[in-house]
Amino acid sequence: MNIHEYQAKELFAKYNVPTLRGHIAFTAEEAVKAAQELGGSIWVVKAQIHAGGRGLGGGVKLARSTGEVREVAQQIIGMNLVTHQTGPEGKLVQKVYVEEGADIQKEYYLGILLDRAREMPIMMASTEGGMAIEDVAHNSPEKIIKVEIDPITGFQGFHGRKLAFGLGLPKEDVNTFVKFASALYNVYMDNDAEMIEINPLVKTGDGRFLALDAKMGFDNNALYRQEHVHEMRDLSEEEPTEVEAGKFDLSYIKLDGNVGCMVNGAGLAMGTMDTINYEGGKPANFLDVGGSANATTVAKGFEIILKDPNVKAIFVNIFGGIVRCDRVANGIIEATKLTNVNVPVIVRLDGTNAIEAAEILRNAGIKNIIAATDLADGAKKAVAAAKGE
Amino acid sequence: MSILVNKDTKVIVQGFTGKEGSFHAEQCLAYGTKIMGGVTPGKGGQEHLGLPVFNTVRDAVLATGATVSMIFVPPAFVSDAVMEAADAGITMAVIITEGAPVKDMMYAKAYATKKDMMTIGPNCPGIITADECKIGIMPGFIFKKGNIGLISKSGTLTYESANQVVKEGFGITTAVGIGGDPIIGLSYKQLLPMFEADPETKAIVMIGEIGGDLEIQAAAYIKEHITKPVVAFIAGQTAPEGKRMGHAGAIISGGAGTAAEKMAALTAAGVTVVVSPADIGKAVAQVMKNL
Ligand SMILES: Nc1ncnc2c1ncn2[C@@H]1O[C@H](COP(=O)(O)OP(=O)(O)O)[C@@H](O)[C@H]1O
Ligand SMILES: [Mg+2]
């Protein structure tokens, strides 16, 4: 789960990770009020969407008067913001964060994420603030300084010093930086974060270090114990069908092809997409119906897949282990009664009681159900059906 | 022969009396696994499935001599259960539970390693040595005995590949579902040498997926140390960047962890990489023919 910049900054503030003051605004009017309340003579109006690269896309603008605040807020709210992280379709901006303007002397990068190979968090810093860290890693990896933080020791002074000196900070700034980094580690661990990215972390003209941007993602498996994080979830930032599927414990991801897939198990679901691709088709989605695959879940699966108007055929690929194929077959038949399935459905059931299942499907005599013998056969038939063959 | 578990392996179940634990313990017993009993705090002294229930793992180990624990406790209690097993002298914990927080596993695995306890999973189907011992939730009948070792991040792809291998006239020595979480226990790199050393295993199938770099590490290891043929499939060639594909660990982030890079590394290491998972069985038949 991801949160907005303004929410991450609220969380930072609780841990004394320094940020600037700001307010959220849903209208240009509110943006002006926010600026007046903040005072000063320079503000930054920032689009709040779950994607980085907003500045380049025109979603972060400086304003030198409340009139300008109104003007840029009007431009940004309601705009379709396209950044390298939104994809070409962009994202609708519904709110802006109005923040005090910073007097930036130098921009840095600071981030924390789980290093899966080392099985512990690593903190990364770079002098190349404001640039996408993936690009820095690619073009000049020597400019990224990394420290691994063993959760047993937690964040120690040396971790911070290694980063600070590595960044070439003057010695009078080292302690300030170490404090900053240490506080950030606490944000990460206490909240079961998966990643934090501050890009840029800036040093201001008056010698302060500030998180000017803030991106955070969290471990979904830990949300049950992070209620305050869970409350920050913004469903409007997520694909509506994915949210709907989630309510029924179905794991669905929309893709841009036309062969719908319904599969049990995440690995086989990905493998099914890959097989469709291999056979010359394009998968319309990832869908893991989980272990049960009964009439209700299958019916819901059909409904969700068919919300996508591109879908021309559905490939149901179930490897029955503990769940018996005859039950799944009955579930599929039942599901076609619960919901209107108007495209060819290619069904491959293998594993426990597969033969009985084939029999059940044949006897049901539903004309848009096509039986397949194995994975390749099913994928081929689904691709052909989607092409109208 | 086989790796890690066989007909003599003594197993206890943590989360024994729960719905999942009961159901699968019964299936394992039916398969022939030496399930010795289980642990449910507060239910010590009772009997379940005709076997003793203990309050603590320590009690269970002392009374039964079990060395392996199969863990079914809910996600919030997984790390506690794993650490209890490690503290009690269990030598391998097979963690079936899906949904454990990453931070918890970080601590639990570090502690397990310190106590010399191996872990498999979490979020995995478990481990099975064909016809001898099933510790997990996989349908046992698919795994006909044979000469192929199997390592997989995915449950259903494990069944799919084992099924294909059997249809081609071969069978399985041991199949290990290593799990699809960001932090897992035994991985390719630790399991490959075990299969290399197992005289009965003639070839190895490894099923990977997008996210992380365990498959890349495996490729480097295979290049240096593995002489037996390896067939691999990497799931998620068509997965978009930045989306979590069902498994907590199956995500391409910042352009890293793609199927393409893993397939390239494995191919360069001399592994037979299939593009379609439907070709796993055929590829195994081919490498076996060339032996
Ligand atoms: N409060 C602020 N004061 C001055 N400049 C800012 C402020 N917030 C952002 N900026 C500038 O705008 C750029 C882009 O903003 P940022 O929050 O990093 O968004 P994104 O990474 O999505 O483009 C920053 O690199 C910084 O130069
Ligand atoms: Mg930024």
DSSP assignments along B65-115, one per residue: ---EEEE---GGGHHHHHHHHHHTT-SEEEE--S---HHHHHHHHHHHHHT
* DSSP-derived secondary structure for A97-126: EEEEPP-EEEEEEEEEEEETTTTEEEEEEE
Q: What amino acid is encoded at B54 in this protein? A: F
User: Which of A12, A50, A60, A110 most suits a substitution to test ligand 1, by most atoms within 8 Å of the C-beta?
Assistant: A60
> Considering only CB atoms, which chain B residues are within 8 Å of A320?
139
Task: Please return the burial class of A365, using the count of CB atoms within 10 Å of its CB with bins 0-12, 13-18 and 19+.
Answer: exposed
Residue whose CA is at the smallest distance from ligand 1 atom 9: A212
Describe the strand order of the beta sheet including B230-235 as a list of residue ranges: B133-136, B126-129, B172-177, B145-152, B203-209, B230-235, B272-273
Q: B155 C-alpha to center of ligand 2: Å?
A: 39
CATH 3.40.50.261 range(s) for chain A read 240-386
Task: Calculate mean pLDDT across residues B247-266.
Answer: 92
- Ligand 1 centroid–CA A212 distance in Å is 6
Q: What is the largest CA-CA distance in chain A?
A: 81
Distance CA B239, CA A174 (A): 43
Compute the average pLDDT of residues A55-59. Answer: 94
Task: Give the residue carrying structure tokens 């830990």.
Answer: A222
Q: Which fold has domain A21-101?
A: Dna Ligase; domain 1 (3.30.1490)
Residue contacts between A and B (CB atoms, under 8 Å): 172
* Torsion sign, CA atoms B26, B32, B33, B36: positive
- Which DSSP helix (H) or strand (E) runs through B48? strand B47-48
pLDDT (0 to 100) of residue A283: 97
Task: Check CB contact of A268 with chain B, cutoff 8 Å.
Answer: yes
Which residues does chain A have within 8 Å of residue B158's beta carbon, measured at their own beta carbons? Answer: 267
CB under 8 Å, gap of 24 or more: what pairs does A22-27 form? A22/A97, A22/A98, A22/A99, A22/A100, A23/A97, A23/A98, A24/A48, A24/A95, A24/A96, A24/A97, A24/A98, A25/A73, A25/A77, A25/A95, A25/A96, A25/A97, A25/A98, A26/A77, A26/A94, A26/A95, A27/A73, A27/A77
User: How far apart (Å, rounded) are the C-alpha atoms in residues A20 and A9?
Assistant: 9
CATH superfamily label, B10-120 = NAD(P)-binding Rossmann-like Domain (3.40.50.720)
Find tokens 């081929």 and name the residue: A380
Identity of residue A298: V
B180 interfacial to chain A (CB closer than 8 Å): yes
Whether the CB of B91 is below 8 Å from some CB of chain A: the reply is no
Cα–Cα distance, A272 to A257 (Å, whole number): 13
Please tell me the predicted confidence (pLDDT) of residue B234: 98
Instruction: For residue B151, give the 3-state DSSP assignment.
Output: strand
Q: Mean pLDDT, chain B, as a whole number? A: 96
Backbone phi and psi for residue B260, each to the nearest 5 degrees, phi listed first: -60, -45
Give residue A155 CA to ligand 1 midpoint distance, Å: 28
Quick check: B90 and B68 in contact, CB under 8 A?
A: yes
Is B110 within 8 Å of A152 when comparing Cβ atoms?
yes
Helix segments in chain A, DSSP class H: 5-14, 28-38, 66-76, 133-139, 157-166, 171-190, 227-230, 240-247, 266-278, 295-306, 325-338, 354-364, 375-386
Rounded to whole angstroms, the Cα distance separating B254 from A134 reads 6
Q: Round to whole Å and give the CA distance between B241 and B243.
A: 6
Question: What pLDDT, in 10s, does the model give residues B20-66?
Answer: 999 999 999 999 999 999 999 999 999 999 999 999 999 999 999 99
Domain ranges of chain B: 10-120, 138-289
Could you identify the atom of ligand 1 that is nearest to the CA of residue A102? 3
- Confidence grade of residue A85 (pLDDT, cut at 50, 70, 90): confident
Whether A270 sits inside 8 A of B109 (CB atoms) is no
Pick from B172, B269, B283, B151: nearest CA to B221 = B269
Say how far residue B204 (Cα) sits from the centre of its chain.
14
- A259 beta partners: A283, A313
Backbone φ, ψ for residue A237 (5° rounding): -85, -10
Q: Is B203 helix (H, G, I), strand (E, B) or coil?
A: strand
B-proximal residues of A, 59-98, CB under 8 Å = 85
Residue of A nearest to B154 (CA): A267
- Residue appearing with tokens 């059940």: A360
How far is the C-alpha of B25 from the C-alpha of B34, rounded, in Å? 10
**CA-nearest residue of chain A to B207?**
A267
B38 inside 8 A of chain A by CB: no
Q: Please state which architecture CATH assigns to domain A240-386.
A: 3-Layer(aba) Sandwich (3.40)
Q: Tell me whether B210 touches chain A (CB under 8 Å).
A: yes
Say how far residue B80 (Cα) sits from the centre of its chain. Answer: 20
Q: Given CB atoms, is A126 within the 8 Å cutoff of chain B?
A: no
Angle between helix A266-278 and A375-386 (nearest 10):
60
- Distance between alpha carbon B171 and the CA centroid of its chain, in Å? 17
Token pair listed for B90: 């269990």
Contact B247 A133 (CB under 8 A): no
CATH of domain A1-20+103-238: 3.30.470.20
Asked if the ipTM is above 0.90, the reply is yes
Minimal Cα distance from B234: which residue of A? Answer: A271
Q: Given a cut of 70, is residue A311 above it in pLDDT?
A: yes
Say what the pLDDT of residue A134 is. Answer: 84
**A253 near B CB under 8 A:** yes
Q: Given this chain, do its domains B10-120 and B138-289 carry the same CATH topology?
A: yes
CB-CB neighbors (< 8 A) of A375 in chain B: 160, 277-278
Q: Which residues keep their CB under 5 angstroms from ion ligand 2?
A: A 199, 213
Closest-CA residue to A347 (of A337, A310, A360):
A360
Lining residues, ligand 1, CB within 6 Å? A 20, 44, 46, 52-55, 60, 99, 101-102, 104, 130, 199-200, 212-213
Question: Which candidate, A355, A389, A371, A370, places its Cα nearest to that of A279?
Answer: A389
Q: Which of B235, B245, B278 is closest, CB to CB, to A375?
A: B278
Answer yes or no: is pLDDT of A203 > 90: yes
**Mean pLDDT estimate for chain A:** 93
For ligand 1, atom 14: residue with the closest CA? A55
**Mutation target among A189, A192, A274 for the B interface, most CBs of B within 10 A:** A274
CB-CB under 8 Å, B139 with A351 = yes
The 8-class DSSP code of residue B278 comes to G
Q: How far is CA B211 from CA A184, B24, B46, B75, B170, in A?
A: 25, 29, 44, 22, 30
- Does the pLDDT of residue B233 top 70, yes or no? yes
Sort out which chain B residues have CB atoms less than 8 A from A268's CB and list them.
Answer: 154, 156-157, 160, 235, 277
B247 carries an active-site annotation: yes
CA atoms within 13 A on the CB side of A267: 27
Report in angstroms the alpha-carbon separations of B26 from A99, B29, B93, B134, B156. 61, 5, 18, 11, 21
Q: Element (H or E) spanning B287, and its range?
A: helix B280-289
Q: Please state, in angstroms and rounded to a whole number, the distance separating the CA atoms of residues B236 and A51.
A: 23
- In tens, the pLDDT along A139-165 reads 898 999 999 999 999 999 999 999 999
Give the Cα separation of B61 and B38 in Å (integer). 10
Q: Any idea which fold B138-289 has?
A: Rossmann fold (3.40.50)
Query: In this complex, is the C-beta atom of A194 within 8 Å of any C-beta atom belonging to chain B?
Result: yes
Range scoring the smallest mean pLDDT among A117-121, A239-243, B68-72, B191-195: A239-243
Residue pair A97/A5 in contact (Cβ under 8 Å)? The answer is: yes
Q: List strands edge to edge, sheet with A259-263.
A: A251-254, A285-288, A259-263, A313-320, A345-351, A369-372
CB contact under 8 A, B210 and A270: yes
Identify whether A200 is preceded by a cis peptide bond (ω within 30 of 0).
Answer: yes
- Cβ distance A266 to B183 less than 8 Å, yes or no, reads no
* Nearest CA-CA distance, residue A260 and chain B, Å: 14
Nearest chain A residue (CA) to B218: A117
* Average pLDDT over every residue of B143-160: 96
Does an H or E element contain A346, and which?
strand A345-351
Nearest residue of chain B to residue A350 (CA atoms): B160
CA distance B148 to B143: 10
* Cβ–Cβ contact A279 with B under 8 A: yes
Q: In the structure, what pLDDT confidence band is assigned to residue A261 with cuts at 50, 70 and 90?
A: very high
Q: Tell me the two tokens of residue A237.
A: 């930032």
Q: How confident is the model at residue A389 (pLDDT cuts 50, 70, 90)?
A: confident
- pLDDT for position A290: 80
How high is the pLDDT of residue A227?
97
| Amino acid A292: pLDDT | 67
Separation between Cα atoms, residue B44 and residue B42, nearest integer Å: 6
